[in-house]
Chain A
Amino acid sequence: MSFLNNWWLIPLIITVFSGILCPAMGTVLITHRRLLQVNLISHCVLPGLALALALGIHPSIGGVISGLVGSIIAESLTNKKSENYEAVMNTILAGMLGFGVLLIPLLGIRIDLEAVLFGDLLTANLGDLLRTIIAFLTFILLVTFGYEKVVYVGLDPEGASASGINVSLLNLALSFTTALVIVSSMSAVGVILVIALLSTPTLLGLDKAQSLRIAMMRSSFFGLCISLLGFILSIIFNLSPGPAISVICVASLIIPKIGNKF
């Protein structure tokens, strides 16, 4: 049992789960052309965190609700075909982040913004682990029972709608799961740097993949390798894990390209 008392065990398990979960979720979002939503939701969680703390609710619940509300507002103000789609998304993103920053002094609460934005993996506790596992299970449920629908909507939204799939409901489920994944990854890499873990392994995993399922598995493998490497380097060199993982993400994109030139 002494093994379980090791301080690095919970952070390591969270690293493994996040390393697998974020790239798999990122694969779905990139193939659905919804990566901008990650950016949006990751910035929209702050008002929810602040309000939840003020109301005495667990911050992660507020974060998920707030992220989801931001996503719904953005979707209701525009649609993907609109030329203003990106502008509206960025406006909501900036507005929600600003609202969150305003709320903190107004509500008289204290939030370690650095930990929220950039992660503090090595101090993660059992609650953080539980949150990560809940997000992991939610994602597994989504792809287990909705895989065909996820594929169809990502490939041909109009055709999927015509065949009876409720595209709006599926998009809402994706937004909800994305918000859960982002909030659960707060302790690992922080809400901002989670974008790197959602994107980079996916770019590596999508290459020549024959199906979404294979792409997700490959992305998760690359994500796990990157996360573990970041975790180990953080311990050895006493670095902050979030930024370390993000730097490795960038390096994993650049190094193969440099290698190909020689």
Chain B
Amino acid sequence: MATLIAENLTYSYSKKSKPALNKVSVQINPGKLTALVGPNGAGKSTLLKLLQGQNNPDIGDITIDGESLVRTRSQIALMPQRSSMNWKFPITVEKLVSLGQIKYSKSKNTNPFQIKALLANPKSWVNKCCELEATMQRVGISNLANRRLDSLSGGQQQRALLAKTLMSPARILLLDEPCSALDPPAKDDFLKIVRQLADAGLALFISSHDWGSSLNSYDHVVVLDKTVLASGTPNSIQGKLDDLNISSLKENNSCD
């Protein structure tokens, strides 16, 4: 179990530009699905990159169970946005998923969480012997193992990417708009899978454009627009939205 706490994060892409994030504080708890919603340019992807350690905040601290991110970076994995992937690359689903095991950084984490242990739960329906196979089974793509990535549907591609992320020893998963470009059934399917992962003890922080009813699938919602506008349960957020002047946010997401 791992809890990520980020406090007062401020970040600018250059000294001359305005902050992309301003005094952002969030907490990601194990066993919970936390949604990060906001309009385009709100800083969602920027925040996820800071939390994963790809970029360093100008001001603010990020800790996992009280330890600084530098020491605990291996406990976080980021599933990137669809647009950052080269979907035409000649690779099979199985090979893609196996890339998630690769770690070239010199992490000194001596007790990494193993997804294998999670999946070896007697109640789960996975093969204990093979982590790769088990992970693909877990997200429902084991029958696609030898298919080329560009021959899959959007939903299948997202599940393959999730499986790759799950292959890392991370306990905290950051998913950058995993449901974009998915049709409603595929989106529901995906949310069921991530719910199962949360129920198994992982902490999931999922950025989303979806401002609709699917927010109810989450335990906690953070509304971001450069800074945190609201944070709470889906019901409390819906109530607060009426009080907040974020009509542009609603308009931005109406097409989603």
Q: Which residues of A contact B (CB under 8 A)?
A: 31, 33, 148-149, 151-152, 154-159, 161-165, 206, 208-212, 214-215
Contacts and interface: CB of A to CB of B under 8 A. Distances in A.
B148 A156 contact: no
Contacts of B52: 162
A206 B53 CA distance: 35
A156 B52 CA distance: 16
B54 interface: yes
B95 A211 contact: yes
Contact of B90 (A149, A161, A165, A215): A215
Given A164-B104, A165-B104, A156 B90 contact: no
A215 B90 CA distance: 7
7 contacts: A31-B88, A151-B91, A151-B95, A159-B99, A210-B92, A210-B146, A212-B89
Contact of A210 (B78, B84, B148): B148
Nearest to A212: B90
Given A151-B91, A164-B104, A31 B80 contact: no
* Interface secondary structure of B, over-half rule: loop
Interface band, chain B? 20 to 34
* Interface secondary structure of A, over-half rule: helix
Contacts of A155: 85-86, 89, 91, 96, 99
A152 B148 contact: no
B213 interface: no
B248 interface: no
B244 interface: no
Contacts of B92: 210-211
Contact of A157 (B53, B84, B91): B84
